[in-house]
Structure formats: structure tokens, C-alpha cells
Structure 1
Amino acid sequence: MVTVELNEWRTIQWNQKAMVTSVKEFEIANNQVRELRFLLYGPVGVGKSSTVNTIRSIFEGRPFVGCLAETAAGKSFTKTYEKYGIANGREGMLPLAFNDIMGVEKGESEGVRTDDIINTLKGHITEGYVFHTEFPITEKDPKYRRNPSLSDRIHCLVSVVGADKIKMMDQEFINKMRKVREAASGMGIPQVVFMTKVDLACPMTNGNLKNIYRSRKIKEIMNTCSNLLGVPMNCIFPVKNYHDETHMNEEINCLMLDALTQIIHWAHDYVVTFSTIPIHKE
């Protein structure tokens, strides 16, 4: 097997201390928004729940498995709309919340429904709602929030895809994800892609995560992802979640922290912008 190394085409700080400190010191410039809310969305089995666990592990300082994850692709393991906060050591909680949601599946009556995702972005769906594959939420449901505030809305959409399976993604998956992205764009919500399982997609990266931005293979996969989903390259972040590791790994942490730092800034920009714009009551 031939591996091709390029000149480093994106830089990253391979020292987690400064990035961890930066995140811990972050404050929201709006006292009516207690936490930035990120929605993790993507096909079944790509690592949405594992992404939450990896972020929590970084700030807990130990492998964390509080968000249950399926070990193999199939039917969605997540059935309810759940919110996960991030502990700030012994100092309370960070002003960040990640919402895990049922995975995308083939077929209109399989997996999370696109209408439910869009309602989630708007802040209409509250935590604990059980997703139904046959029908979307209605205004009569007790978990439906009629008049969401800026604090209730999603502030950044994080599409999660597997680097090892992007080229095999069915067009139906792509169409569903593009529809959600278009809805998010219409609401001004920033969108990014977390491209997981980079170690499975590239032997060079598997051998050393620090080679990730020198790998021709990873850059090609990112280009494919950009073309399929319509996401700019600078909004795609290759990451690796904790999977078989039983101890903390600074390289895994640095990749995730680099992505996390960027999406915090973009979500905060959204909050600042819409703090001065009245939210239309639907």
C-alpha cells in the first residue's frame, strides 16, 4: 500500500493545555443565553454519541462513556432527544451543550425525520422527546415548545460523517443532510462537519495522528465530503473519537479541541448576531 505525504496544508497546535484553558475561560456575551447549543446530526454508526463522549473525556481527564453509543452500524441506538453538558473540572459546567439525536437512515419512514431535525434547530423540540420514524412531532405534543427563545435554539449544526464511508454514502442520505443544511442556512445557523474514523480511512494517519494534515488521502476525502454535502473545506474537521483506548491520548484530544474551539466561536457569532434581531414567532 502506497501512502503519499504532502506539505502540511493545515496547522494545528499539538499541545492541549492552551486550548483547554481557552475553552474553560470562554464566556457568552449574552446573559440570556446560558449555554451554546450544538446539534449532532448524521447517519447511523458514524460516532455522534462517541463524539460527545470524547469531548467529555477531555474535560473529565479520563475516558467517559456517559452517552451510550452503538458499536456497529445498523438501526439508530439513540431514540430520544438528549442534552449533554460538559463539566469544567470541579468548577461546575462549561457554557456548552451537545444534543444527540436519532441517526439518519434510508427511507422516509426510517431513522430521524427531516421535519423533526428542522424543528429541533428552531428550538421547538424539548429534551426527552421520543422520536417516531412514522410521523414528526406536532404542536399538540407536550414536548413541543411553541415559542422558543434564542437560548432554546440550536446555535451550530454539526454534521457527523465517517471518513471511511463517505464515498459509499447513499444519495438518499446526502439529500436528507443537504435539506437540513439548507434549512439551517435559512436560519443563519453555522454548519460544520466532524469527519470521524480518520484512522480507519488512512494508514498514514492511523500510524501517527500528527500526519493528518500531511495526508493526501485525508485531503481527498475532505474534498469528496465538501462536494457531496456542500460544506466548505474550512468547515470540515477530521477527528478521531475514543474507541479502543483505555487511557487519555493528547493527539486525539488536540484534534477534537481544535475543532471544538472553532465551532464555539461560530456558534457564539450566531448568538451575538441574533441577540439584536427579534426572533420570528412561528
Structure 2
Amino acid sequence: MGGAYFSQPWRAVTENYQENLKFVKSYQPQNQNVKHLRILIHGPVGSGKSSFFNSVESVLTGRVTGRALTDAISGRSFTQKYTAYKIHKDPDSFYSFIFNDIMGFEQKTNKGVDVEDVKLAMRGHLPDGYKFNPEAQLQETDEDYNPAPTLDDRVHVLVCVIPVASVSLISEEVVQKMREVRLAATEMGIPQLAILTKVDEACPKLKTNMNKVYTNKYLKEQVDKFNMLLGIPPNCIFLVKNYHSETNTKDDINALILSALKQMITFGEDFLNNL
């Protein structure tokens, strides 16, 4: 699996490393009604959503972090709450974007996050810290329901996360849930991207050199398959290796993460400016 390569990369990433890092570090929303750009991460159970946030934080702090707790063996969603993560720029300030992590999608109807709760989150009705109940979605009459969300409460970018090797294995039920969320986001005008994680597991030769990710033929095929599965354009689908076994950050891993992060911020800024 993943042994063949193109002679030239089908997407340029590494040469923009410092430029992307500078962009991310200097970003401030132009919309005066928003303090932070809100990025919602969703996907199947075990897809690497929490690990992706940890990897973004690792890139920006220069050290491998693990603030969003993860679990690789339970087979169930380890994230139980609607959790908002800010990243410290320095001891007194934060970066101007927030990541919201949610419970993962599962195949059964009464397991994993409810699609309707994800829609409520996108509209800003879910408070940070809300504990998901797969058997009962949040109602307008519930104490936790935010009846008057501000633009700051709403989601500005939707990001789907899935392991690259799972693209061909994902169940029809989970695809349907993700598709429903995507269509709801489209109705709200929310821009969408996708992150295909664990590229090193799909292509072991890449473990020592992430610079060849965008020359790999198998990975290109998975990007095209995911495009057909959810309808997200290929240029909005990014390949990433999350920090997992490493104890120090590496430029080739950082470059992939920064390329995706810059596009999230750019899309979210466009969304805010179009309101």
C-alpha cells in the first residue's frame, strides 16, 4: 500500500513553511464582532480529531503537547464534551482562533454524537463544556441551550477529520451523518475542509520523510475518493501526520499541518468578511 510516487508533487507545501507560520502567528479577524475564529472539528470515532488539535498546538508552541486527551484502544469516542481549545501565543495572550472538538460519529443511531447536536453547535446554541448525550439531543427548553448566540458563538469553519486508510472502509451510516452535517453547513454558508490523518501508517516509507506526501499516488487516490464520498473539493482536502510517537517537533510534519491551518483561517476569514 502506498508504494508508488509521481515524479513531481501534485501540491506544493514545504516551500511555504515560514510564510504560513508567519501568517498564522499574525492573524487577527477583521470583523470587529469576532474575537476568535471558531473552527469545529468533526469525524468518525478514532479519526484523530483531538490529536490534530494537539499537533497544531505542538507546531505553534514548538514542543509536542497532549492537552486534548486521546485514547487509541476503546473503540468509542473519548471526547464526551463540546470542548473549546485556545492556544497561548505568550503568557498573556492567545492566538485568534479556537478549535472546538466534539464527540465522534458512530455507526449506530443512538451512539456517538447526534447530527442535530452538531447543527446546533454550528449555529452557536451549544455552550462550551456541554456534555453530549447520544440518546437525547439538546432541546430549546434545556438549561444548557444558548437561545441567543452571538457571531462569536457560531462556527466559522467546519473541518472533517478521518484517517486516510479509513476512506475506503467508512460505513454508509457514518458517511450519511457526515454528509448531513456538510449539507447543513453549506446552508449556513460555513466553509468546509477535510484532514486525512495517519498518512505515515498508510505509507510506511513516509515515516522518515513527510516531504514526499504530495507525490504519493495512493494518497492522491484517497483524496479523490474522499472527494467523491463527501463532495469536498480536492484542493480543500489536506494530508497530515499528527504527532504521536515523536517527542520533538519536526519541520516536515509541521509544514503539512501549517498548510492545512492556513487554509482553515483563510476560509474562515472569508466567511466572516462575507457576512
What is the aligned partner in structure 2 of residue 66 from structure 1? 67
- Matched residue type, 1:125: L
Q: TM-score, normalised by structure 2?
A: 0.96
Is 1:117 the counterpart of 2:112 in the alignment? no
Alignment of 1:44-193 (within 5 A): 44-72=45-73, 74-90=75-91, 92-193=93-194
What is the aligned partner in structure 1 of residue 236 from structure 2? 235
Secondary structure, aligned partner of 2:168: helix
What is the aligned partner in structure 2 of residue 256 from structure 1? 257
- Matched residue type, 2:165: D
Gaps (5+ residues) in structure 1? 275-282
Instruction: State the superposition RMSD in angstroms.
Output: 1.4
**Alpha carbons of structure 1 residues 143 and 74: separation in structure 2 relative to 1, 3 Å:** same
Alpha-carbon deviation of 1:91? 5.6
Secondary structure, aligned partner of 2:96: strand
Greater relative contact order (Cα 8 A, min sep 6): structure 1 or 2?
2
1:119–1:125 contact (8 Å) kept in structure 2: yes
Q: Deviations over 1:183-233 (max 9, x none)?
A: 000000001101100111123433421111110011001111111111110
2:21–2:258 contact (8 Å) kept in structure 1: yes
Q: Deviations over 1:146-190 (max 9, x none)?
A: 121211110000000110111111111100000000000000000
Alpha-carbon separation, structure 2, partners of 1:167 and 1:69: 24
Runs of 4+ in 1 over 6 A off after TM superposition: none
Q: Provide the aligned length of Structure 1 versus Structure 2.
A: 274
What is the aligned partner in structure 2 of residue 200 from structure 1? 201
Secondary structure, aligned partner of 1:121: helix
Q: Deviations over 1:44-102 (max 9, x none)?
A: 11100001101111111111111101123611101111100122134611110000000
1:198–1:239 contact (8 Å) kept in structure 2: yes
Alpha-carbon separation, structure 1, partners of 2:13 and 2:184: 31
Gaps (5+ residues) in structure 2? none
Alpha-carbon separation, structure 2, partners of 1:212 and 1:179: 30
1:12–1:258 contact (8 Å) kept in structure 2: yes
Alpha-carbon deviation of 1:248? 1.0
Alpha-carbon separation, structure 2, partners of 1:174 and 1:151: 29
2:124–2:153 contact (8 Å) kept in structure 1: yes
- Matched residue type, 1:188: G
**Alpha carbons of structure 1 residues 2 and 139: separation in structure 2 relative to 1, 3 Å:** closer
Percent identity of paired positions between Structure 1 and Structure 2: 39
